[in-house]
Structure 1
Amino acid sequence: MSRLTASLNLLATTALCAVALGGPAVAQQVDQGGGGPDRLALTIYNQNIALVEDVRSLNIAAGRARQEFPGVSASIRPETVTLSGNGLSVVEQNFDYDLLTPSKLMQGAVGREVGIVRTNPGNGAQTSERARVLAANEGVVLQIGNRVEVLRDDGAPTRVVFDGVPPNLRPRPTLSVTLDATGNPRRDVTLNYLTGGLEWKADYVARFDEKGGKLDLTGWVTITNNSGSTFDNAVTRVVAGTVNVAGGGRNQYNGGRGNGMSAGSNAAEGDAHVYLLPERVTVANNQTKQVGLLDAANVPASKRYVYQAYGFSTQEQAQAADVGIVFRSEPALPAGVMRVYVAGADGEPRFIGEDQLNHSPAGSDLVISTGKAFDVTVQSRVVASERVGSYGANRYRTRYQMEYRVRNATGEAKTVEVRQRAGGRDTELSNESLKGEMADAYTAVWKVPVAANGETVLTATITTGG
């Protein structure tokens, strides 16, 4: 920022005080609708959009009048606004988002007269004169009498006194609505609208006790507000799942164009799941806030070792097995990152890994991958392979004789899940040293027990389409 621009902002800041304290009052032509909502509810979606329910108790006399609603979201999508109240009908509405700032106040004075007050730093004497603002771009150009002068940042105290605030500038985003009203003037008025700039995500911390076969799970909702406005003491819901957004993305309001959305309860609604946060939330503009979502103790859990083969091959070196924590989600869990900790030998927590959790309905069996096992390995080998038939054009079946050497270098017995992805449907298993099963049409699974500091060799014949 240049010294001249800084001077402009300083002068205009002083001017704001001058308008408030010394300038003539600006006539109020409409009811300001209070300082903000009396009751507020937010429903935040995964797609950077939120539904706002804004309830205000107002006095609206019968007849036609313009009503202002200051304090709405700066990222409001005006075309989504609905207004309801006993005896009210909407004639038109306007969203005024040109906010009052020092520089805009000065720019709004271009072509008009202002007061200039200078203070002598030596004796404190003040001099005042009228000036016409010629320009307020990279600096302020004034015409004072027959001379043209540029306001400079020369250390001399200077104030600019404005006669009023331009009607198009607002101290905060304001929705103005022209209404036809009948009946009792005192009534509750409800605004519903979509806004961009609000997002949420879920994060989890799992404390895993392998010997006890359980974990303690804590969930957090992280809300980020870049809407340009603060939301105070709002009943807040977050929605897991995807709602239709026309155009597939964000628009100039930093949100999406959605339809068919409404605030919900802590339950499944259509193809989404709505979570009511336990307490009202205040989230300031440009703030990220975390709120507790769940706290579950003694959830049954176990460790799982998995080796996943995506094709039939002979490996020159053994591959480390993947390690995961297996548990069942009793409540539905929204998508998020789950971080897993265990207690070390000294009792202090140790971070062992994290994984992305997908949206999970209640009763889902979940596996959280935490990394690779240093001392549990699997090495596969193709003993033999042959074509055993064909079907269709250029399609054939192949029979593989496979060997999987499973090693466990720990001091405890382990069970390792060997998963073999086949190349086609209708896979058949035969000649197995351990009985396996088809997890789906393409995946064969064996659970291989391995003694402490031991080795188990799994053999099987797999016939699959190619």
Structure 2
Amino acid sequence: MRRFVFAFAIFLFYSWLSGEVRKETALTVYNRDLGVVNQKLGLKIPAGKSEIRVVDVASLIDPTSVHFRSIKEPESLSILEQNYRFDLVSTYQLLWRYTDQEIRILTTSGKAYQGKLLSYDGSTLLIDSGTTIQAIRLTEAIQNIEFPSLPEGLITRPTLVWLLENRGGENRECELSYMTSGIKWHAEYVALIDESEKKLDLGAWVSIDNRSGATYENATLKLIAGDVNIIPTGQQPESLSIRGDMEKIKAEEQFQEKEFFEYHMYTLQRKATIRNNEIKQLSLFPNTECSIKKIYVYNGARYGDKIRVNVEFKNEKENGLGIPLPAGKVRVYKRDNDGSKEFIGEDWVDHTPKDEKVRLFLGNAFDIVGERVQKNYKKISNRKIEYTFEIKIRNHKKENIEVTVVENLYGDWTITEKTHEYTKINARTVEFVVPVAKYEESVLNYTYNYKW
């Protein structure tokens, strides 16, 4: 009788597949835990009814998304049934299937046990040898467990199975496509600010996190950036982050970008292998230099005495950019006098079209302090109130600065008195630009009333 030997250290069993030749694989990865797999397969399909299997599909495949067809003469090949089998062989499955059947156990000391398997609870096997009931613990250095055969229905890898009716030629070139979760990508940017704090060297990388349960060998790789609507099905796996020192790696432009529907597509200009349980990092575009502006922002009602430090740049061709920037984290560094690069903050950018501004919040200023005090409140009528605010900015730096003071106003408001000019940003927000000399304090006062 043919026997299958199960080794606890390593168990490898490769199932048979009827004449499959995987000719071409294309993988499209989305930001939001989604991949689309397109494959061309060479299959030998007998005339009449037959069962065809394709293994090594993603274990997180959405079976309802599978599409299969013959490229030539599709009308002569009918799909009668389509099944996704995922009852994978394992220690537990084999032992559970062999309850009340004969097995043989061999330990590393050479001792053998043979008999009917009564039960298995994850740590102990109960064997009926015919004369005694033996309890065998897995701590007894079991080397092999021998099974007469592989139980029907168990498979070694996730498998798509079709029942087909072929009324044409035997050799077929077929298309297979499906969607899978467990794979996503995101952009990561590494920025280096120069000593003058007026220039920024920006590099972009993409990280592809594949936990879909399949490896995509020598695949055409496409990345979709944009907010594609997906009905949620569960939690997304966490991904790792690219190291901050990777801006040192010089890379040619690898991706070709284009508009695709209402999104943007980035196609890698070479084949790539995306392995299961791997995070692959690729250069999105070579480093480029752009001009930046440092902006101090004070919103006392929201952040107390903290002055927020931002850098802003225009994503335009004249500024060295002018390309669609996919959403991702931007890590910012500045070079010290000794040549080392020191981390000074990070922020998240959303999908940003060309010719739009990008503003990054890096942290709070150490040497600039804000203070906001309500100086007056007056009820003018039953439907009208007047407020007066005093805002102080103290600059302990050895250079002159400008601080953008943000104030949020409500109702039908009117500013009646002010010490500095303001810009109305929207119906509820105004901004004052307040110059502050080094080691000095500047005071902004304004009065406004609102009615309802």
TM-score range, shorter chain: 0.7 to 0.9
Structure 1 letter corresponding to 2:447: T
Consecutive unaligned residues of structure 2, counting only runs of 5 or more, are 238-255, 316-321
The alpha carbon displacement at 1:224 in A equals 2.5
**Contact preservation (8 Å) 2:332, 2:343:** yes
The alpha carbon displacement at 1:232 in A equals 2.7
Which one is further off, 166-175 or 357-366? Answer: 357-366
Partner of 2:227: 242
The alpha carbon displacement at 1:275 in A equals 3.3
The alpha carbon displacement at 1:103 in A equals 3.8
3-state SS in 2 of match to 1:331? coil
Q: Please, which of 192, 217, 235 is the counterpart of residue 232 of structure 1? A: 217
Aligned identity (percent) is 29
Q: Please, which of 288, 308, 319 is the counterpart of residue 297 of structure 1? A: 288
Partner of 1:94: 83
Does 2:98 correspond to 1:109? yes
Partner of 1:67: 52
Which one is further off, 168-177 or 399-408? Answer: 399-408
The alpha carbon displacement at 1:157 in A equals 7.6
Q: Following the alignment from structure 2 to structure 1, what is the Cα–Cα distance between the partners of residues 399 and 329? A: 30
**Contact preservation (8 Å) 1:309, 1:421:** no
**Contact preservation (8 Å) 1:53, 1:193:** yes
Structure 2 letter corresponding to 1:231: Y
Does 2:360 correspond to 1:360? no
The alpha carbon displacement at 1:11 in A equals 7.0
3-state SS in 1 of match to 2:295? strand
Does 2:180 correspond to 1:186? no
Structure 1 letter corresponding to 2:367: D
The alpha carbon displacement at 1:132 in A equals 4.1
The alpha carbon displacement at 1:415 in A equals 1.5
Q: Following the alignment from structure 1 to structure 2, what is the Cα–Cα distance between the partners of residues 456 and 18? A: 74
* Equivalent residues in 2 for 1:317-328, closer than 5 Å: 319-328=305-314
**Contact preservation (8 Å) 1:221, 1:292:** yes
Q: Please, which of 387, 393, 400 is the counterpart of residue 387 of structure 2? A: 400
Consecutive unaligned residues of structure 1, counting only runs of 5 or more, are 1-9, 21-25, 255-264, 391-395
Q: Following the alignment from structure 1 to structure 2, what is the Cα–Cα distance between the partners of residues 18 and 437? A: 70
Q: Please, which of 441, 447, 462 is the counterpart of residue 427 of structure 2? A: 441
* Equivalent residues in 2 for 1:146-295, closer than 5 Å: 148-151=133-136, 159-209=144-194, 211=196, 213-246=198-231, 248-250=232-234, 266-277=257-268, 279-295=270-286
The alpha carbon displacement at 1:56 in A equals 1.7
Partner of 1:409: 396
Q: Please, which of 9, 12, 15 is the counterpart of residue 6 of structure 2? A: 12
Q: Following the alignment from structure 1 to structure 2, what is the Cα–Cα distance between the partners of residues 147 and 250? A: 49
Q: Deviations for 1:15-62, whole angstroms, at most 9, x for unmatched residues?
A: 998999xxxxx9x6x62634xx43222223343232222322222244
Q: Following the alignment from structure 1 to structure 2, what is the Cα–Cα distance between the partners of residues 140 and 226? A: 33
The alpha carbon displacement at 1:116 in A equals 6.1
Structure 2 letter corresponding to 1:325: V
Partner of 1:5: none
Q: Please, which of 403, 422, 438 is the counterpart of residue 409 of structure 2? A: 422
Partner of 2:299: 308
The alpha carbon displacement at 1:443 in A equals 0.7
The alpha carbon displacement at 1:430 in A equals 4.5
Q: Following the alignment from structure 2 to structure 1, what is the Cα–Cα distance between the partners of residues 164 and 413? A: 70
Does 2:332 correspond to 1:340? yes
**Contact preservation (8 Å) 1:15, 1:160:** no
Partner of 1:455: 441
Q: Following the alignment from structure 2 to structure 1, what is the Cα–Cα distance between the partners of residues 439 and 371? A: 16
Partner of 2:343: 351
**Contact preservation (8 Å) 1:322, 1:373:** yes
**Contact preservation (8 Å) 2:188, 2:207:** yes
3-state SS in 1 of match to 2:25? strand
Output the TM-score relative to the length of structure 2. Answer: 0.79
Measured on the aligned residues, the alpha-carbon RMSD in Å equals 3.6
The alpha carbon displacement at 1:175 in A equals 0.6
The alpha carbon displacement at 1:109 in A equals 3.1
Q: Following the alignment from structure 1 to structure 2, what is the Cα–Cα distance between the partners of residues 347 and 53? A: 48
**Contact preservation (8 Å) 2:309, 2:363:** yes
Which one is further off, 341-350 or 132-141? Answer: 132-141
Q: Following the alignment from structure 2 to structure 1, what is the Cα–Cα distance between the partners of residues 371 and 138? A: 76
The alpha carbon displacement at 1:373 in A equals 1.1
The alpha carbon displacement at 1:447 in A equals 1.7
Does 2:30 correspond to 1:45? yes
Q: Following the alignment from structure 2 to structure 1, what is the Cα–Cα distance between the partners of residues 47 and 186? A: 45
Structure 2 letter corresponding to 1:400: Y
Which one is further off, 346-355 or 445-454? Answer: 445-454
Q: Following the alignment from structure 2 to structure 1, what is the Cα–Cα distance between the partners of residues 410 and 137? A: 77
Q: Deviations for 1:135-169, whole angstroms, at most 9, x for unmatched residues?
A: 44444444445555455669688644433322312
Q: Following the alignment from structure 1 to structure 2, what is the Cα–Cα distance between the partners of residues 297 and 229? A: 35
Q: Please, which of 351, 365, 369 is the counterpart of residue 361 of structure 2? A: 369
CA 1:61–1:423: 2 relative to 1, 3 Å: same
Output the TM-score relative to the length of structure 1. Answer: 0.77
Which one is further off, 232-241 or 65-74? Answer: 232-241
**Contact preservation (8 Å) 1:306, 1:322:** yes
Which one is further off, 73-82 or 278-287? Answer: 278-287
**Contact preservation (8 Å) 1:413, 1:449:** yes
Q: Following the alignment from structure 1 to structure 2, what is the Cα–Cα distance between the partners of residues 156 and 344? A: 58
